[in-house]
């Protein structure tokens, strides 16, 4: 196997997202970066994709038949994105069963470059405490600032973190919302750099909208954030749904980019959590247990 | 009724929302999927603006493009106080035009760096950052000397003008392009003054100022 700049074998062996399938022109080479390695990819419009290490005979913008590319990296289509791995990945990616429900809207809200480490971005995604201050009058509003008690578990079977019984008052929980409501949240972290959020659907109280953030680590302090939406919404145009999500993400972006230190400290004494940070504490512990070193400051041993 | 063809994360669209908010003008928006959809380059949009750029307004059939041009129009038509674009003050109009052009320079540098970092535009980001710092240094000195003379806005008037609105957004968003403002204290003070104007509104990436410290 080729030598990689990233030496974290846990991270190397994972599947990582590269691009939304819907946004890639068929048979044209596109360049990207994953874990500091220059990669290229292409799709053929018939459901096939190829990913390979960047090389001079297949430069960006050139035409390619994906079936003929030599020395391909592992490739997977999942949740509307192309995924690859620089190591030896498991056969399956984490499941999101709701993705296959026929009446859902599935789209990439955007892929946005952010000057942040992947773990810091995941932690922000898990945090409800910032809603009233950063997403004022959308996902929160003063004086409704309390993060009520919620449950967190690290599921050994599924190897993921699950935060349940999360509730928050939201003035405008989704593009479909018509007013403020107490919204139920469930968070999953099934991958060190991916998180899936379930929140009450304004349209059907028995079901939940699914919003996932899939982070493509460019290096230890930069990501491409792919935002997957899988929603119940019969009325709004795609661009209205995307606009809502991009507005939220645009509010988070300066917060993410101003985190210091940029890498996530895993030593429990490094930053002082409050009760509302239970999920973040579990996430840091889980990364430590896995032995993740990329994008983090490992605890001293 | 004004229709604004709008993209939430665009600083040039934001400056129109900002002025209309300050003027109390009602408008409706048509969201454009600038990214990732590139709807501003779509066939239907190119018929509205052949340059394929945002923002555009349609005011009862008058279609205008270019953020700075639209600021001139909105202030001329909808500002009963006549202070945002004082039509009878030749010297001030000259100054305003000078800073409107400067705002285009900020778009060409600070905004370009942000598009490179966040939306993967194929720009020379180092050149864009160097260019932005050059403009910020010029602006910071202009504002600092102004403060010494009792001038707190960009132009020689006791009130803000559309020049302030034109320059504000992409300065505020500069860190998203890797351009910190810590070396420009007069710019930072001026940004806080803009944020405390009546009718100020935020966009994603711009936060409100805290209350001013009592003198």
pLDDT of B126 > 60? The answer is: yes
Picking from A57, A84, A111, the residue at the C-terminal end of a domain is: A84
Residue A1 is predicted with a pLDDT of 57
Is B176 in contact with A23 (Cβ distance < 8 A)?
Answer: no
pLDDT of B214 > 70? The answer is: no
Reading phi first (left if > 0) and then psi (alpha if -120 to 50, else beta), residue B199 is in left
Q: Kindly state whether residues A76 and A104 are assigned to the same domain.
A: no
Give the whole-angstrom CA distance, residue B64 versus residue B73.
9
Q: Kindly state whether residues A156 and A231 are assigned to the same domain.
A: yes
Which of B114, B118, B177, B191 has the most A C-beta neighbours within 10 Å, making it the best mutation to test the interface with A?
Answer: B118
Give the whole-angstrom CA distance, residue B55 versus residue B14.
9
Determine the residue of chain A that is closest to B6 in CA distance: A243
Q: Give me the CATH number covering residue A31.
A: 2.20.25.680
Is A113 in contact with B8 (Cβ distance < 8 A)?
Answer: no
The percent of residues in chain B predicted with pLDDT above 70, rounded, is: 99
Q: Kindly state whether residues A155 and A264 are assigned to the same domain.
A: yes
Mean pLDDT, rounded, for A94-113: 96
Which of A95, A92, A82, A103 has the alpha carbon at shortest distance from A230?
Answer: A103
- Domain annotation covers residue A207: yes
Contacts of B32 in chain A (CB under 8 A): 239
Which of A33, A109, A112 has the most B C-beta neighbours within 10 Å, making it the best mutation to test the interface with B?
Answer: A112
Is A240 in contact with B207 (Cβ distance < 8 A)?
Answer: no
pLDDT of B178 > 80? The answer is: yes
Residue A19 is predicted with a pLDDT of 98
pLDDT band for position B90 (50/70/90)? Answer: very high
Contacts of B204 in chain A (CB under 8 A): 246-251, 253
pLDDT band for position B204 (50/70/90)? Answer: very high
Is A246 in contact with B9 (Cβ distance < 8 A)?
Answer: yes
**Residue among A111, A246, A257 whose CB faces B176 most closely:** A257
Chain B nearest-CA distance from A187, in A, is: 24
DSSP B9: T
Give the whole-angstrom CA distance, residue A38 versus residue A20.
18
Mean pLDDT, rounded, for A225-231: 97
- Domain annotation covers residue A89: no
Which of B176, B179, B203 has the most A C-beta neighbours within 10 Å, making it the best mutation to test the interface with A?
Answer: B176
Picking from A36, A56, A84, the residue at the C-terminal end of a domain is: A84
Interface of B with A in 28-57 (CB under 8 A): 31-33, 35-37, 39
- Domain annotation covers residue A64: yes
Residue A300 is predicted with a pLDDT of 84
Per residue in A244-262, is it b (16+ CB within 10 Å) or e — as a string?
bbbbbbbbbbbbbbebeeb
Ordered DSSP codes for A106-175: EEEEEEEEESS-HHHHHHHHH--TTHHHHSBTTTB-TT-------EEEEETTTTEEEEEEEEEEESS-ST
Contacts of A254 in chain B (CB under 8 A): 175-176, 205, 207
- The ipTM of this complex is 0.93
Beta bridge partners of A223: A114, A217
Chain B nearest-CA distance from A82, in A, is: 16
Chain B nearest-CA distance from A290, in A, is: 30
pTM for the model: 0.95
Q: Kindly state whether residues A138 and A270 are assigned to the same domain.
A: yes
Chain A residues bordering chain B (beta-carbon distance below 8 Å): 20, 23, 108, 110-115, 224, 238-240, 242-243, 246-251, 253-254, 257-258
Q: How many residues does chain B have?
A: 215
Q: In this structure, what token pair is assigned to residue A27?
A: 């048979």
Q: Kindly state whether residues A171 and A281 are assigned to the same domain.
A: yes
Residue B53 CA, chain-centre distance (Å), reads 15
Mean pLDDT, rounded, for B28-50: 97
- Domain annotation covers residue A91: no
Q: Kindly state whether residues A79 and A123 are assigned to the same domain.
A: no
Say how many domains are in chain A.
2
- Domain annotation covers residue A90: no
For chain B, domains (ranges, CATH) are 2-78 (3.40.30.10), 90-195 (1.20.1050.10)
Q: Kindly state whether residues A101 and A78 are assigned to the same domain.
A: no
- Domain annotation covers residue A54: yes
Residue A171 CA, chain-centre distance (Å), reads 24
pLDDT of B161 > 60? The answer is: yes
Q: Which of A71-75, A182-186, A208-212 has the lowest mean pLDDT?
A: A182-186
Domain boundaries, position A157: 97-297
Residue B92 is predicted with a pLDDT of 98
Listed in sequence order, the residues at least 6 apart from B118 whose beta carbon sits closer than 8 Å to its beta carbon are A112, A113, A114, A253, B176, B177
pLDDT of A154 > 60? The answer is: yes
Chain A nearest-CA distance from B118, in A, is: 4
Reduced to 3 states, what is the DSSP secondary structure of residue A74?
Answer: coil
Q: How many CB atoms are closer than 10 A to CB B39?
A: 19
Q: Kindly state whether residues A20 and A122 are assigned to the same domain.
A: no
pLDDT band for position A82 (50/70/90)? Answer: very high
Report the helix count and the strand count for chain A, using DSSP H and E: 5, 15
Q: Kindly state whether residues A128 and A68 are assigned to the same domain.
A: no
Chain A nearest-CA distance from B73, in A, is: 27
Q: Kindly state whether residues A199 and A72 are assigned to the same domain.
A: no
Q: Are A67 and A32 in contact (CB under 8 A)?
A: no
- Domain annotation covers residue A4: no
Give the whole-angstrom CA distance, residue A93 versus residue A76.
9
Mean pLDDT, rounded, for B21-43: 97
Picking from A37, A60, A84, the residue at the C-terminal end of a domain is: A84
Residue B63 host element (H or E) = strand B62-65
On the 0-12 / 13-18 / 19+ scale of CB atoms within 10 A, A145 is middle
Mean pLDDT, rounded, for B19-27: 98
On the 0-12 / 13-18 / 19+ scale of CB atoms within 10 A, B23 is middle
- Domain annotation covers residue A57: yes
Q: Kindly state whether residues A69 and A203 are assigned to the same domain.
A: no
pLDDT of B215 > 60? The answer is: no
Give the whole-angstrom CA distance, residue A253 versus residue A271.
21
Q: Are A176 and A233 in contact (CB under 8 A)?
A: yes
Is B175 in contact with A114 (Cβ distance < 8 A)?
Answer: no
Contacts of B33 in chain A (CB under 8 A): 238-239, 242-243
Reduced to 3 states, what is the DSSP secondary structure of residue A197?
Answer: strand
Is B33 in contact with A242 (Cβ distance < 8 A)?
Answer: yes
Give the whole-angstrom CA distance, residue A82 versus residue A39.
13
Residue A205 is predicted with a pLDDT of 84
Q: Give me the CATH number covering residue A112.
A: 3.90.380.10
Q: Kindly state whether residues A124 and A231 are assigned to the same domain.
A: yes
Render pLDDT for A268-301 as a digit per residue (tens, 0 to 9). Answer: 889 988 888 999 999 999 999 999 999 999 998 7
Give the whole-angstrom CA distance, residue B206 versus residue B209.
9
CB contacts < 8 A (A, B): 58
């Amino acid at each position: 196997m080729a030598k990689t700049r990233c030496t974290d074998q846990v991270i190397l062996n994972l599947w990582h997202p590269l691009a939304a399938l819907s946004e890639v022109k068929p048979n044209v080479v596109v360049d990207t970066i994953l874990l500091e390695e220059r990669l290229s990819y292409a799709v053929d419009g018939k459901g096939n994709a190829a990913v390979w290490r960047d090389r001079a005979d297949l430069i960006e913008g050139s035409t390619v038949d994906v079936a003929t590319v030599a020395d391909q990296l592992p490739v997977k289509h999942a949740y509307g994105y192309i995924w690859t791995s620089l190591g030896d990945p498991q056969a399956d990616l984490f499941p999101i069963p709701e993705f296959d429900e026929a009446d859902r809207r599935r789209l990439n809200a955007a892929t946005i470059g952010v000057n942040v480490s992947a773990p810091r971005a995941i932690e922000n995604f898990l945090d409800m405490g910032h809603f009233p201050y950063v997403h004022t009058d959308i996902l929160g509003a003063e004086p409704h600032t309390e993060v009520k008690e919620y449950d967190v578990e690290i599921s050994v079977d599924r190897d993921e973190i699950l935060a349940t019984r999360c509730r928050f008052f939201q003035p405008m929980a989704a593009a479909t919302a018509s007013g403020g409501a107490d919204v139920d949240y469930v968070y999953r972290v099934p991958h060190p750099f991916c998180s899936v959020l379930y929140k009450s659907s304004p349209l059907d109280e028995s079901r939940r909208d699914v919003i996932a953030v899939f982070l493509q680590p460019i290096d230890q302090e930069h990501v491409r954030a792919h935002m997957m939406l899988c929603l119940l919404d019969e009325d709004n145009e795609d661009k209205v749904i995307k606009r809502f999500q991009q507005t939220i993400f645009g509010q988070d972006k300066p917060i993410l980019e101003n985190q210091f230190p940029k890498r996530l400290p895993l030593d429990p004494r490094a930053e002082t959590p409050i009760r509302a940070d239970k999920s973040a504490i579990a996430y840091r512990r889980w990364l430590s247990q896995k032995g993740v070193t990329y994008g983090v400051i490992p605890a001293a041993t | 009724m004004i229709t604004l063809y709008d993209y939430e994360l665009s600083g040039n669209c934001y400056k129109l929302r900002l002025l209309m908010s300050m003027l109390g003008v009602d408008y409706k928006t048509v969201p454009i999927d600038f990214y990732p959809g590139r709807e501003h380059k779509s066939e239907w949009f190119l018929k509205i603006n052949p340059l394929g750029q945002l923002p555009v307004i349609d005011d009862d059939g008058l279609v205008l493009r270019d953020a700075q041009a639209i600021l001139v129009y909105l202030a001329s038509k909808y500002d009963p106080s006549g202070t945002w674009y004082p039509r009878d003050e030749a010297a001030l109009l000259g100054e305003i035009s000078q800073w409107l052009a400067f705002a285009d320079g900020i778009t060409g540098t600070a905004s370009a760096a942000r598009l490179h970092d966040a939306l993967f535009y194929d720009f020379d980001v180092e050149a864009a950052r160097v260019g932005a710092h050059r403009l910020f240094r010029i602006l910071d000195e202009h504002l600092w000397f102004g403060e010494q003379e009792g001038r707190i806005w960009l132009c020689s008037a006791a009130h803000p003008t559309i020049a302030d609105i034109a320059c504000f957004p992409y300065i505020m968003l500069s860190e998203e392009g890797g351009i910190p403002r810590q070396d420009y204290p007069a710019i930072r003070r001026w940004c806080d003054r803009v944020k405390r104007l009546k009718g100020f509104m935020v966009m994603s990436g711009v936060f409100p100022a805290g209350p001013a410290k009592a003198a």
